[in-house]
Amino acid sequence: METIKTRAAVAWGPGQPLNIEEVDLMPPRKGEVLVRIVATGVCHTDAFTLSGNDPEGKFPAILGHEGGGIVEALGEGVTSVAVGDHVIPLYTPECGECKFCKSGKTNLCQAIRATQGQGLMPDGTTRFFKNGKPIYHYMGTSTFSEYTVIPEISLAKINKKAPLEKVCLLGCGVTTGLGAVAKTAKVKEGDTVAVFGLGGIGLAVIIGAVMAKAGRIIAIDINSGKFEIARQLGATDIVNPKDYTRPIQDVIIEMTGGGVDFSFECIGNVKVMRSALECCHKGWGESVIIGVAGAGEEICTRPFQLVTGRVWRGSAFGGVKGRTELPGYVQRYLDGEFELDTFITHTMGLDDINTAFDLMHEGKSIRTVIHF
Ligand code: NAD
Ligand code: AHE
Ligand code: ZN
Ligand code: ZN
């Protein structure tokens, strides 16, 4: 196979708009797969990296990690997917062989984490080039390109009946929220839940909490434009911190007669992470950090908060193992267990992708899906 041309949105530097252009894409090497991306969501993490606040951010790069696509060609030795298969790229791969995969305790496969974090394929090189100069990969996926090369262990093969322009959202946001509730927190019937931040992640947490039959779901955001959807999805209480002068954790503790069983931080704000921990019930409340905070940011609380039984934990991709478990989430969507349409507030072509970032920053979108 020859090097091909692909249309991509290139991030040339932090804080700069993406540039839509043709770049060169080398064929897949051993253990790699060429995928045609049919659609991709735009997640806040893409904006976070583009902003320059991601310690792992490298430029120039092709961002995007919430995609759905079709296998176009196989590199040497690839056996687990075939040309024509429908796939969701995984920023959390699943090799099945590393200490992490074998532990049964985590989804954080580390087989290719080091090179992935450097914007490189597992062999330490890139497949994208412009005028002979390398362009970095992103999160092992680079879905803001019509064609991309992805390691075999970073592909989940899914049911072909699933519409890729919808289930692409299971490549990050929706799975992250659903999994954080079911797999990380293990919310049980009757539990009280607080959700901080009502973007794609927070709304998926609400859906997950409804599926877990949580008794009370408190939705918190500073953008009141998010409340209607949160209610539609099943939030029982709405809180806007701007309506209060006292700390929001105090408000929630009072509302709930002592605090929540579980809270989820879905923003990436370290001050809110503290509130999310401290609104948890003394003795047992657990707070799950999902939001990604910028370089140099640190969380803090009084250790007494933990001494007195609150638990702080984190969740990446909802604790979901991509190759073995994600196809099941796609099937559950097809079976009607949850819907995705509410998330998709905007659709557009790749040429307009900078508008998707603008809409996110203006708080006007939940998810924009880019159709190629
Ligand atoms: P988003 O921008 O769509 O939503 C964020 C929401 O937080 C918005 O509704 C915004 O109004 C609200 N918000 C901002 N500041 C707030 C404050 N001080 N108090 C209350 N609400 C506030 O983002 P998203 O795509 O839903 O992503 C949310 C976060 O989750 C990001 O940090 C993203 O990087 C991270 N993320 C993590 C994972 C993971 O696996 N851990 C996966 C996906 C996304
Ligand atoms: N590069 C950042 C960390 C970014 C981060 O935490 N990413 C999440 C997924 S966000 C998806 O929208 C994740 O899965 N983290 C686990 C991992 O191995 O990256 C930094 O701070 O360096
Ligand atoms: Zn994401
Ligand atoms: Zn592994």
User: Closest ligand to 100 CA?
Assistant: 4
State the CATH class of domain 177-316. alpha beta
Q: Is the pLDDT of residue 55 over 90?
A: yes
Nearest 10 degrees: Cα torsion 316, 319, 325, 326: -30
The residues placing their C-beta within 5 Å of ligand 3, an ion, are: 43, 45, 172
DSSP line for 18-75: PEEEEEEEPPP-TTEEEEEEEEEE--HHHHHHHHT--TT--SSB----EEEEEEEEE-
Q: Does domain 4-171+340-371 have CATH number 3.40.50.920?
A: no
- Nearest atom, ligand 1, residue 47 CA: 34
Nearest 10 degrees: Cα torsion 367, 356, 198, 155: 50
CA 153 to chain centre: 18
Q: Is the pTM of this model over 0.80?
A: yes
Q: Per-residue pLDDT averaged across 299-303, rounded?
A: 98
Could you tell me the pLDDT band of residue 280, with boundaries at 50, 70 and 90?
very high
pLDDT in tens, 58-87: 999 999 999 999 999 999 999 999 999 999
Annotated catalytic residue 101: yes
Q: Per-residue pLDDT averaged across 291-310, rounded?
A: 98
* CA–CA gap between residue 267 and residue 269 (Å, rounded): 6
Q: Is the pLDDT of residue 273 over 90?
A: yes
Catalogue the E-assigned strands of the chain: 4-10, 19-25, 32-41, 66-74, 86-89, 128-130, 133-135, 147-151, 155-158, 192-196, 216-220, 237-239, 262-265, 286-289, 311-314, 344-349, 367-371
Q: Per-residue pLDDT averaged across 242-258, rounded?
A: 98
pLDDT, position 1? 80
pLDDT in tens, 9-34: 999 999 999 999 999 999 999 999 99
Domains of the chain by residue range: 4-171+340-371, 177-316
Q: Across all residues in the chain, what is the average pLDDT?
A: 98
Please identify which of the residues 6, 40, 45, 184 carries the catalytic annotation: 45
Closest CA to 192 of 241, 262, 113: 262
Q: ipTM strictly over 0.85?
A: yes
Q: Which two tokens stand for residue 60?
A: 């120039």
Annotated catalytic residue 95: yes
